[in-house]
Amino acid sequence: MNVDKIGSALLKIYDELKDDPASKDIIILIDEGQSDEKIKEGIVAGVKRLRELEKNDIAEEIVKKTKGFAF
């Protein structure tokens, strides 16, 4: 588990979903999560939403960066 990669993945999720109204709760989870479990939940939800938006390459990049933490 690489903390720098996880941080990078969180920023990528934020950048990609910040203007998507349907992702408001995901942004809150990754931004304000008070525990690893909440942050993991936000990452998984973010990847799911990215796939729904057909941003599959970005979703896969995040999965790779967070393997061992959220996946």
Q: What does pLDDT average to in each consecutive run of 10 residues of the chain (71 residues)?
A: 92 97 95 91 97 98 96 94
| Token pair listed for 63 | 């999965």
Q: What is the H or E stretch that residue 63 is in?
A: helix 56-65
pTM over 0.85, yes/no: yes
Residue ranges covered by each domain of the chain = 3-65
Q: What is the pLDDT of residue 21?
A: 96
Report the alpha-carbon distance of residue 43 to residue 45 in Å, rounded. 5
CB 6 within 8 A of CB 67: no
